[in-house]
Structures are given as structure tokens and as C-alpha cells.
Structure 1
């Protein structure tokens, strides 16, 4: 496994995000437009792509959320490579990178129905917090936080 730190101009990152968006569009149904507006990747400076035997298999990113916090975004593992610890590896790499940049905590939002994603975040030490920002009042959303 090789983890590449990159930005959102990386073609492999863009392809993985396209797959993620297709999965989320199906999952979110008629609410997809609401969530999609918060998931653009045009200016993400902190992205990672996981390669296994040269194949791009998983990705994730973060963006500044506040002066001392980042928001983890665009987490995805190709279905053929799930259950191999890639999600946890991405979270750890993103946390390390954010910490190197002197951020003190990370937040994220996911769907209450994405149990495997929630499992990765909770195993990584994230704890549930009240929904923040645009996710306040959105029943489908669950938000998490972790100190770095």
C-alpha cells in the first residue's frame, strides 16, 4: 500500500470521487442536490489517494473548517478493496497531515445509514457531536469530532 498526498487536481483522486458521487447520489436520492453542494473538490489542497499495486483504490481529503479545525471530506474506498483497513489508513494519514499543519481537531459528517463509514470513524477515535453548520436539523446526517 502506498498513500500519496496530493490535491484535487490529481486525476486518480478525481476518478475515485466520481465513483463516490455516484454511490452517494443513489444513497441520497432526492436529497442528493443538498449534500452535493457541500462536496465540490475544485479547491481541495489536502487530498490523499491510496494505491495498491499501482491501482488507485481509496481516497480522502480535508479542508479548513475553522482556525484550529479541519473537516474530513470525500472518503471513499472502491468496493473491491473494502475490509482491508484502507479507510482507517486514510483517516490516520489525514489526521497526521492536519496535525503537521497545526490544526487541533477534525470534524466530519456522514449519513446515519453508512454503518461501515461510522465504524471506521468510531474505531479511529471520533465521537458523535451535535450536527454542525448546514447539517443542523438534517435527520440523515451524523457529525463527529476528534482532537488531533
Structure 2
């Protein structure tokens, strides 16, 4: 089986389609290639955390009127996802994921920026998120993007495997 990932002469990852411009746009999450990407993410999270520590939105929830679901594509290939879930008094980032073959290309940071821009455009003043303690790259991304650690929000409860973050958009 051939890998989707190869190395350039300098040893950097080369992802099919990634040499083309990355387009981040709202899409329906119920497309076959996005469903496959979400299934990969779900398997990763299940390997890291027990069910009670996984707070994933399913596809039907991602299609809800209170959610904005974005996809990063290059050359037509879905490489990453992210969503904003409007929860009354707050907005939460959900389903941030980058295809493992496309990691290191800055797609997570670009997706996070696109979500922040969309949240501001729709009137959000603050963003919240929950992520797991066993995801050092995600934790580093959120901290470097100005998110501050906080306590549980919304319906979340304290969980030793979860960390909670907040960022003012003003």
C-alpha cells in the first residue's frame, strides 16, 4: 500500500495536493472524504481517552444550525476540519483536526485563524475550547494563539484528562 506522505529532498512532508493553495471554507460534513477524515480523528481520540473524556460532536450535530463547520482543502483533498458551536452565551471551538499526513504545514494554525475570523464576523466576543491533556501539539497551538487556561464551562465537568481554554476576541 502506498503512503499519501512522501518526503521532499529537504526531508519535509509532501502531501498530494498540498503544494496548491489551501482553501478553508464552510462545507457539509456529511461528504465521504470528510466522514473519513472525521473517522480518523475519532479513532485517534478513542485511543487516547476513555469515552467519558471524549466530547466529540457527531456529523448530525455538525450539520446543526448552531454550528459552522469548516474544511481545509488543497488540490481538492480535505486536509483539516474545525467548527464553531454557538452555545447561547458562548462559542466553542470543536472538531479541530489535521490529517496526520499534512501535519507540520501550519494548517492547524490557519484553521484556528479562520475560525476566529468567522467568530468575530458573527459577533462572538470570546471563544472557548476543551482539549485533552495527551495532545501536546494542540495545547502548544492554543497557548501560542493566545488562549488562556480556565475552568470547565457550559456542560463540562472537571476531568483530569481535559483542559479548558478561553480567548477574548476584542
User: Residue 83 of structure 2 aligns with which residue?
Assistant: 61
Aligned residues between the structures: 144
Deviation string 1:41-71 (CA, Å, 9 cap, x unpaired) is 313231111112221111111111233x211
User: Residue 18 of structure 1 aligns with which residue?
Assistant: 39
Give me the whole-angstrom Cα distance separating, in 2, the residues matched to 1:3 and 1:84: 14
Q: Secondary structure at the match of 2:59?
A: coil
Query: Which protein is richer in helix relative to its size?
Result: 1
How far is the alpha carbon of 1:99 from its aligned partner?
Answer: 1.2
User: Residue 16 of structure 2 aligns with which residue?
Assistant: none
Q: TM-score, normalised by structure 2?
A: 0.77
How far is the alpha carbon of 1:7 from its aligned partner?
Answer: 3.8
> Over aligned residues, Cα RMSD in angstroms?
1.7
User: Residue 61 of structure 2 aligns with which residue?
Assistant: 43
Is 1:88–2:109 an aligned residue pair? Answer: yes
Q: Secondary structure at the match of 2:137?
A: helix
Instruction: Report the structure number with the largest CA radius of gyration.
Output: 2
User: Residue 129 of structure 1 aligns with which residue?
Assistant: 150
Is 1:107–2:157 an aligned residue pair? Answer: no
Residue segments in structure 2 that go unaligned for 5+ positions in a row:
1-21
Q: TM-score, normalised by structure 1?
A: 0.88
Deviation string 1:97-139 (CA, Å, 9 cap, x unpaired) is 1111111111000111100001111111111001234442210
Give me the whole-angstrom Cα distance separating, in 2, the residues matched to 1:38 and 1:74: 7
| Superposed structure 1 runs of 4+ greater than 6 Å apart | none
How far is the alpha carbon of 1:26 from its aligned partner?
Answer: 0.8
